[in-house]
Amino acid sequence: MGKNFTPHRIAFYIGIIVIWQIISMAGVWPDNIFPSPYEVAEDLAYSAADGSLFYGIATSMWRLAIGLTIAISGGVILGIFMARVEVINQTVGSLVLGLQSIPSIAWVPLAILWFGLTDGGIIFVTAIGAIFAVTINTYTGVKNIDPHYIEAARNMGAKGSQLITAVLIPAAFPYMISGFKQGWAFAWRGVIGAELLFSFLGLGFLLNAGRSLNDVSQVISIMIVIMVIGLVIDSVVFKKLENKVMSRWGLR
């Protein structure tokens, strides 16, 4: 985590804030269009003080956790089957490639029709946006396993679920981590996008509330929160996990 706060990076972000403040003070655009950093920070502090910010973060993260868990579980299972059963690869595999090209937000109308304006619809959009990235990376990982490892495991008596849990998943894990990381990014975008369109809670809702009130400071402050959460999770969770896996497999 410490590597993420190097002097150069800190100086870079301070520079952005200074330039932002200078432009704001120059009056190029009115405050209701281009608020100053102070106004955005003030709005953020107000949201934190009344609890709406933390409640929004907790709600979005809860939906994300459920959706991403579903996506990872389903994606790993589907990816393994695609890699091990050629018929499934030729049929379901082509469908997965096609569905991956659909943006998460495009699933929102279907989610509303199927689930209504509920958490279930948001979780559906979150899961469907992430599952295909996990599937494809799991498939690639299993396909790239040296066949001699699998044969050696079979000769030692491994078969069925034991072969999957003891050989296939550990050997494919470096690829799967990449899939989890991509899936997290897609899921995070999906949950915010879905909340923006039909949620009454969460960070997406706070974004939409700022738009409805013509409060640009709130919109920008929530966007910053969304970005910071993304950076923190990537650094604290996935970067550390990725480093451990790479070291374990001797890849760095």
Look over the chain and give the mean of its residue pLDDT values, rounded to a whole number. Answer: 84
Q: For 46-62, how does the pLDDT look when each residue is reduced to its tens digit (9 = 90+)?
A: 889 988 899 999 999 99
Cα separations in angstroms, 12 against 7, 37, 109, 212, 231: 8, 15, 40, 32, 15
CB proximity list for 201: less than 8 A, separation 6 or greater:
55, 56, 59, 195
Residue 20: per-residue pLDDT: 85
pLDDT tens track for 63-107: 999 999 999 999 999 998 888 888 888 888 888 888 888 888 889
- State the pLDDT at residue 162: 66
User: Which whole-number Å values give the CA distances from 22 to 10, 32, 45, 107, 215, in the listed order?
Assistant: 18, 16, 22, 41, 21
pLDDT of residue 153: 66
| CATH tag, 44-248 | 1.10.3720.10
Query: Average pLDDT of 16-28?
Result: 84
pLDDT exceeds cutoff 70 at 216: yes
Q: How far apart are CA 12 and CA 221, in angstroms?
A: 19
Q: Where are the domains of the chain?
A: 1-34, 44-248
Confidence of residue 2 (pLDDT cuts 50, 70, 90): very low
Write down the pLDDT at residue 170.
77
Looking at per-residue pLDDT, the higher value among 237 and 148 belongs to 237
